[in-house]
Structure 1
Amino acid sequence: MKINLSRLVQDIERYGEYGKNEHGGVTRPSFSYEDHQVRQLFIEELKEMGLEITIDGAANIWGKYKGTGKKKGSIVIGSHLDSVPNGGKYDGPLGVLMAKEIIKTLKEHTILLDHDIEIVSFTAEESNDFNLSTFGSRCFVGRLTAEILKDACDSKGALLSEELKKVGGGLDKFPEINKMHNNKKAFIELHIEQGQRLESANISMAVINSVVGTYRSVVSIKGDPNHSGTTMMVNRKDALTAASEMILEVERYCKAKGNVVGTVGRINVSPNAANIIPGQVDFILEIRAEAEGSIQEAIASIQDVWHEISDRRKVKVVQEVFLDQKPVLLDQVLVSVFENTAREMNEPCLTLPSMAVHDAAHMASITKSVMVFVKSIGGKSHCPEEFSEPEDIEKVGNLILQGIIQLDRTLSEKEIKSV
């Protein structure tokens, strides 16, 4: 029994038309017109498959394929359907459409598992105008509450509470979400790798055993804005040249260590004029690593060097941490199931950490969770060039199909209760 690759590829192409732009990319942010369209398409197709549809308070879409009932609860497969501006057609939708294809394959072979099987499409996984990425999964596990979200609005002043109602959700439905937790016995998320580790190894797939931690802070360097012609070099307190050294230190440290990645992804210079020495620079520092100790060591070492730079250049450095997300260990029982399934299929498979945060990292707080990656060509993601070869997608789809069948057999009540 194998998935129907041709049907899945057609689905990927068809869904990729919603939000397709003149650059060949997909722009489908959550709550946009294009998002509304693709949501309706997805719901109608789940109904045509005969699935039981639920839309929770966060507007996450759930479709259930009932099992024999011999084992309680659902094995859930899914990801998200929204996209970044001018993104690709694989990041997110591949995981959702693969879930749909797996259920179609089971139905066509008249196979009922002992557990129910559910598809989920999480709302607003990508960054969006409400500044609430991985929104749907964070709401589902209780990390974003109705109280926190009651006044949330986008840059145009639109209330999140009203946008949720338009797509079948609503803050008034949030209390029902907690009642859904006990029913979810395992969560499997397929995603493109968004990197080049699999391509470098010439391997189609990886089982993901952990998700990296992420630290972000706003860093402000305060110098002395002054006339660029009359202030001699020895008298300057230039915030931008200090910031330049500090940013290069992030790169130097992370390259030397090898087990952490560091990025300065946004920078503002003030007053940003040609004839004024920069008086203040604000940037965002991000550090990611698989181990919490590696993150803390990186921060401490980088800040030691920053202190020397600020003293030498006579500038003041202020930091405000706004994200300190710890690494997440995914469920080792599920990791083993998919590793063993790959071996039984004679398919080479790596075991890796995810260097990006996905919905599975949040779902791990309420149920057994695991991820599977498929090779990304050129490591491209969040761009129109995003692509995974159909033959790689087919291998990964069959791995998940067979892995779920194995999981259905082996997942015991004792293991479920230990979550």
Structure 2
Amino acid sequence: MLQIQLPRLLAALDSYAEYGRDERGGITRPSFSPADLEVRRRFIKELQDLGLDITIDGIANIWGKLKGNGKKKGSIVIGSHLDTVPNGGKYDGALGTLVAKEIIRTVIENNITFDHDLEIVSFTAEESNDFGLSTLGSRAFVGKLTEDELRMATDSTGLLLSDALQKVNGDIERIHEMASMHEEKRIFVEMHIEQGKRLESNDKSVAIINSLVGVYRSKVTVIGEANHSGTTMMSHRHDALTAVSEMILAVEQICGEDETDLVGTVGKLEVLPNAVNIVPGQVEFVLEIRGECQERMDQVVDKIETKWNEVTQRRKVQISQSILQQQKPTMLDEEIVSILQNSAERISVPYMTLPSMAVHDAAHMSLISKSAMIFVKSIDGKSHCPEEYSTPEDIKIASDVMLNGILAIDQQMD
């Protein structure tokens, strides 16, 4: 069994975590920031030192290619992203990217020549960002974002995305060229931390991911009647916030009763006029539903809306909605998933097969490549915070599953 060098990988994780280290103990390294520029330079230099051919595409994704022997066409691509959320942890994204680099280094050191080309990628701006375009690099690469959308995008300061791209060697004028790269990206495998507790609850280090959940988001506005908090008797009120409180509890109840891994969240509210002595007259919030079955998601949304209509009629407030996002669940490639499962079994690694409850770059790459994912256990399910942690033992196990899985994919796939 071929194995990665764990001490080398852990040293890289610790070293990369210093780029964007903040005063709260976490890492703040959004794309296009000074810390992002620094980590990009280091990453590119390390890929060059490994002898890889480097390409930076129009959206500033970084690609490094280890040429194969030419027996099979196209590339097996591995990688993830290097940007972080504000005050995030050192594993989200970076682990998948640095494991990919360690795998390529291990392949080179063991004089293994692939039949396919083997590529590493670090995608631009996977995390939510000031341009409002999460998974920016992979979405733009596969054509989910149009050139016009990218040209018009600005951050909160008015900076054009096209100008930000220039800082990281991207180029809005080369966006259209990325379509010509699609055909060679035959297979994509991404490692990521789970960011939840399912693996830990089942005492497993590794999960093979066979799908990614769909995401439904709608912006909801509830309009009541703002009035004096002292002179408006309780029976005379049309309080938008108390109506919304009941609506949010309905989301929790209905989603909690669902038998699948479907989840529902209201994580953002705006209360108007938001004053201590005024009955709230208007509340805006965002409903999010995530699930692995589109039919079940639709049923849950219908149940929620039925309950909401009952609440708003009873409380004599008005409701309106606008859909922000309707992303269907993504099925990953059954053949690649099976090869990864078999690889885990061959090296005697117990694993789970799960859907991903978060959207990753693999969801978009699946449009042009046979794609799959590997999750490594997250301790206490924590992520997007400084306490994010995966043990060295779990990282080693998951990395070896991925390494041997990539070797098997190269052998078994045409």
In the superposition, the TM-score normalised over structure 2's length comes to: 0.99
Partners of 1:87 and 1:31 in 2: CA distance: 16
Give the aligned partner of residue 164 of structure 2. Answer: 163
Equivalent pair of 1:226/1:279 in contact (CA under 8 Å): yes
Q: Does 1:286 align with 2:288?
A: yes
Cα offset, 1:235, TM superposition: 1.1
% of aligned pairs identical?
Answer: 58
1:363 alignment partner AA: M
Q: Does 1:51 align with 2:17?
A: no
CA displacement at 1:22 relative to structure 2: 1.7
* Distance in 1, Cα, partners of 2:396 & 2:150: 40
Which residue does the alignment assign to 1:415?
A: none
State the superposition RMSD in angstroms. Answer: 0.6
Deviation of residue 221 (structure 1)?
A: 0.3
Look up the match of 1:266. 268
Between the aligned partners of 1:149 and 1:410, the Cα distance in structure 2 is 38
Distance 2:280 2:378 in 1: 41
Cα shift readout 1:22-71 (whole Å, capped 9, x = no counterpart): 22110000100100110011011111111000000110000001111111
Matched, 1:13 2:26: no
User: What secondary structure is seen at the aligned counterpart in 1 of 2:133?
Assistant: coil
2:98 counterpart residue number? 97
- Aligned to 2:408, the other structure's residue is in SS state helix
- Tell me if structure 2 keeps the 8 A contact 1:145–1:174: no
Q: 1:275, CA displacement in angstroms?
A: 1.1
Match for 2:224: what amino acid?
G
Q: Write the deviation string for residues 387-406 of structure 1: whole angstroms up to 9, x where unpaired.
A: 10111111111111111111
Q: Which residue does the alignment assign to 1:299?
A: 301
The structural deviation recorded for 1:258 is: 3.8
Residue equivalent to 2:228: 227
In 1, Cα distance between equivalents of 2:344 and 2:45: 33
Contact residue 191 and residue 371 of structure 1 kept, 8 A: yes
CA distance in 2, matches of 1:256, 1:103: 45
Letter in 1 for 2:194: E
| C-alpha distance in 2 between matches for 1:22 and 1:182 | 44
CA deviations on 1:349-390 (whole Å, 9 max, x unpaired) are 100000000000000011100000000000000000001011
Structure 1 residue 330 displacement after superposition: 0.3
CA distance in 2, matches of 1:347, 1:276: 60
Matched with 2:356 is 354
- Does the alignment pair 1:26 with 2:21? no
3-state DSSP class of the match of 1:319? strand
Correspondence 1:242-391 to 2 at 5 A: 242-259=243-260, 260-391=262-393
Cross-structure match for 1:399: 401
Determine helix, strand or coil for the equivalent of 2:152.
coil
Residues 116-155 of structure 1 mapped to structure 2, 5 A cutoff: 116-155=117-156
Task: Determine if contact 1:377/1:386 at 8 Å carries over to the other structure.
Answer: yes
Alpha-carbon separation, structure 2, partners of 1:196 and 1:271:
39
In structure 1, the residue matched to 2:70 is 69
Q: Distance in 2 between matches of 1:114 and 1:145?
A: 34
Cα deviation, 1:238-273, whole Å, max 9, x if unaligned, reads: 000000000000001111114210000100100011
State the distance in 1 between where 2:285 and 2:108 align: 52
Cα distance in 2, alignment partners of residues 348 and 399 from structure 1: 10
Unpaired stretches in structure 2, ≥5 consecutive residues? none
For residues 174-225 of structure 1, the C-alpha deviation after alignment (integer angstroms, 9 at most, x for no partner) is 1210000000110000000000000011110000000000000110000011
Q: Which runs of 4 or more aligned residues in structure 1 lie more than 2 Å from their structure 2 counterparts after TM superposition?
A: none
Task: Tell me the SS of whatever aligns to 1:150.
Answer: helix
> In 1, distance between residues paired with 2:117 and 2:146?
28
Please name the residue that 1:81 is paired with.
82
Partner Cα distance (1:321, 1:147) in 2:
22
Distance 1:349 1:230 in 2: 62
- Per-residue CA deviation, residues 69-119 of structure 1 (Å, 9 max, x unaligned), is 111110000000000000000000001000100010000011111001000
Counterpart in the other structure of 2:178: 177
Number of the residue aligned with 2:213: 212
Q: Secondary structure at the residue paired with 2:132?
A: coil
User: Is there any run of 5+ residues in structure 1 with no aligned partner, and where?
Assistant: 413-419
Identify the residue that residue 42 of structure 1 maps to in structure 2: 43
Q: CA deviation at 1:171?
A: 1.1
Task: Find the counterpart in structure 1 of residue 191 from structure 2.
Answer: 190
For residue 340 of structure 2, give the secondary structure of its aligned residue in structure 1.
Answer: helix
